[in-house]
């Protein structure tokens, strides 16, 4: 005996809730069910943004906004014209959640507490008449077509994890909002969808290098990173990325590292996170400009007796890093500027503007983490988030091959695609 629902949503995360709430609000009395396998829903929202939940980003121009998505930019352009960060802010504010924008554009609840967001979503779902099952895992989905029916019915097998009981549910409107869950992706493959393989995005770089030793915590406000291919050439599809760079105990982090990891996610996975990296610590200066500055300083008579390592030249470069870079360029502690050879000067210019480091692995960025990969985007109609292969099957959030840079863009993908799916589920 199967129980019929008007819409079933697999996954009680950000995308699933957003879709369910819209479907419930716009279709009073409809039987909308969220099935969530975890003990409590919205688990990632709770731990997001270091527990503060970076809800979205203050970027209100869809054309500019898509530039923050290494995968999914073209597909999201249309959906963002109808639901974008300004709509997200309005959505939460009309439900009593006040948001604030930080200097770098990230938007958080004023409470700095992710619970504010999860409470709002749970209350809104309840008011919209949405039923939520937790500790209920969707095990399989099959389609049933009868006679001349254009769209199939979906039969979802669900196991209640606490009791171990299994039951079958039926619907004509099924939304996969299952994030990067591999079992759910396997179900979708079984239904005929193509799944781009999942690999991590938004991570830090492990680099063991004497030039970085003991410098954890130091940062430069604007650096440029370029990933190198095995032949030493730059990886042009990823490079260059620019922004603040942070030295950690394990290597490099900070916005520019995360950005490089996101754009290079697939390629870095292919090379097993082992490749060369060029760092320009003094961007926007080029090697030639740096060399000119070094030569000018060396040739100034009042500097000739100064020790290079003890007198950093570039204001924004931490003094200890400068000292290590001079050593790496072969300039000893006892040398004066006047004694620095042309070759050492050139090496120092290279160290500063194009220092080569070896990435030996990836580290974790605690505040945000996503995977790239998921349902292939050309198999989805982005006006409704409906499958182009199976009518009545919908997608929202990270289950799609979409991922954004850090800063609230990943939730914005969940809100936007969830909102569109929610509007179409029962249309």
Residues in contact with ligand FAD by the rule CB under 6 A: 10-16, 35-38, 43-44, 47-49, 53-54, 137-138, 177-179, 181, 183-184, 367-370, 397-398, 408-411, 414
Distances (CA, A) of 183 to 167, 188, 356, 363, 406: 18, 9, 41, 25, 26
Q: Which of residues 35 and 290 has its CB atom nearest to ligand FAD in the complex? A: 35
DSSP state of 27: S
Whole-number Å distance between alpha carbons of 398 and 366: 18
Q: Two tokens at 297?
A: 């300083």
44 with 381: CB under 8 angstroms? no
Could you tell me which residues come within 8 angstroms of residue 309 by beta carbon, excluding any fewer than 6 positions away?
A: 322, 323, 326, 327, 331, 333
Distances (CA, A) of 294 to 314, 329, 349: 10, 13, 8
Q: How far is the CB of 247 from ligand FAD (least distance, A)?
A: 22
Q: Which of residues 122 and 398 has its CB atom nearest to ligand FAD in the complex? A: 398
Long-range contact set of residues 38-43: C-beta below 8 Å, sequence gap at least 24: 38/12, 38/134, 38/135, 39/134, 39/135, 40/134, 41/12, 41/13, 41/16, 41/17, 41/118, 41/122, 41/132, 41/134, 42/12, 42/13, 42/14, 42/17, 42/117, 42/118, 42/121, 42/122, 43/13
Q: Which of residues 102 and 339 has its CB atom nearest to ligand FAD in the complex? A: 102
Q: How far is the CB of 410 from ligand FAD (least distance, A)?
A: 3
Q: Which of residues 13 and 255 has its CB atom nearest to ligand FAD in the complex? A: 13
Residues paired with 252 in a beta bridge:
205, 247
Q: How far is the CB of 179 from ligand FAD (least distance, A)?
A: 2
Residues paired with 381 in a beta bridge:
386
Q: How far is the CB of 249 from ligand FAD (least distance, A)?
A: 20
Q: How far is the CB of 371 from ligand FAD (least distance, A)?
A: 9
Burial class (CB in 10 A: 0-12, 13-18, 19+), 147: exposed
> Could you tell me the end-to-end alpha-carbon distance of the chain, in angstroms, rounded to an integer?
27
Q: Which of residues 64 and 274 has its CB atom nearest to ligand FAD in the complex? A: 64
Q: Which of residues 187 and 285 has its CB atom nearest to ligand FAD in the complex? A: 187
Q: Which of residues 18 and 322 has its CB atom nearest to ligand FAD in the complex? A: 18
Q: Which of residues 18 and 297 has its CB atom nearest to ligand FAD in the complex? A: 18
47 with 72: CB under 8 angstroms? no
Q: Which of residues 80 and 409 has its CB atom nearest to ligand FAD in the complex? A: 409
Q: How far is the CB of 217 from ligand FAD (least distance, A)?
A: 22
Q: How far is the CB of 196 from ligand FAD (least distance, A)?
A: 15
DSSP state of 229: -
Q: How far is the CB of 339 from ligand FAD (least distance, A)?
A: 52
Q: How far is the CB of 180 from ligand FAD (least distance, A)?
A: 6
Q: Which of residues 345 and 396 has its CB atom nearest to ligand FAD in the complex? A: 396
Strands (E), 190-314: 195-201, 203-206, 219-228, 241-247, 251-253, 275-280
Whole-number Å distance between alpha carbons of 75 and 308: 52
Q: How far is the CB of 27 from ligand FAD (least distance, A)?
A: 21
Distances (CA, A) of 39 to 134, 304, 398: 6, 69, 20
Q: How far is the CB of 307 from ligand FAD (least distance, A)?
A: 45
Q: Which of residues 9 and 291 has its CB atom nearest to ligand FAD in the complex? A: 9
């Amino acid at each position: 005996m199967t129980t019929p629902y008007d819409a079933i949503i697999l996954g009680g995360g950000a995308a699933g809730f957003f879709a369910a709430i819209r479907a419930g609000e716009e279709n009073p009395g409809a039987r909308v069910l969220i099935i969530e396998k975890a003990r409590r829903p919205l688990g990632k929202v709770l731990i997001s943004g270091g527990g503060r939940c970076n809800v979205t980003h203050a970027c209100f121009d869809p054309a500019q906004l898509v530039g923050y998505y290494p995968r999914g930019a073209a597909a999201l352009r249309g959906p963002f014209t109808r639901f974008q960060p300004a709509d997200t802010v309005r959505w939460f504010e009309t439900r009593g959640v006040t948001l604030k924008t930080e200097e770098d554009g990230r938007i958080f609840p004023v409470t700095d507490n992710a619970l504010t967001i999860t409470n709002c979503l749970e209350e809104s779902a309840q008011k919209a008449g949405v039923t939520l099952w937790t500790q209920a895992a969707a095990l399989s989905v099959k389609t049933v077509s009868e006679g001349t029916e254009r769209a199939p019915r979906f039969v979802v097998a669900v196991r209640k994890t606490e009791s171990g009981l299994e039951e079958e549910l039926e619907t004509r409107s099924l939304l996969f909002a299952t994030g990067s869950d591999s079992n759910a992706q396997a179900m979708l493959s079984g239904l005929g969808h193509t799944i781009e393989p999942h690999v991590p995005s938004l991570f830090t770089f492990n680099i063991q290098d004497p030039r970085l030793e003991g410098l954890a915590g130091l940062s430069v406000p604007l650096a440029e990173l370029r990933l190198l291919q095995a032949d030493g050439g730059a990886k042009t599809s990823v490079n260059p990325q620019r922004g603040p760079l942070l030295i950690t105990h394990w290597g490099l982090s900070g916005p520019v590292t995360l950005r490089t990891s996101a754009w290079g996610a697939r390629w870095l996975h292919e090379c097993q996170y082992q490749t060369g990296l060029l760092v320009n610590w003094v961007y926007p200066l080029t090697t030639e400009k740096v060399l000119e500055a070094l030569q000018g300083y060396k040739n100034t008579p009042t500097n000739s007796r100064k020790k290079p390592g003890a007198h950093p030249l570039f204001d924004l470069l931490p003094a200890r890093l400068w000292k290590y870079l001079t050593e790496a360029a072969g300039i000893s502690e006892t040398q004066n500027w006047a004694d620095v050879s042309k070759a050492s000067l050139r090496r120092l210019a290279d160290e500063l503007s194009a220092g080569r480091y070896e990435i030996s692995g990836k580290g974790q960025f605690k505040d945000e983490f996503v995977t790239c990969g998921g349902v292939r985007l050309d198999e989805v109609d982005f006006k409704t988030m409906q499958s182009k292969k199976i009518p009545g099957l919908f997608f929202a959030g990270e289950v799609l091959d979409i991922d954004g840079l850090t800063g609230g863009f990943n939730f914005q993908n969940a809100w936007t695609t969830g909102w569109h799916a929610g509007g179409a589920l029962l249309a």
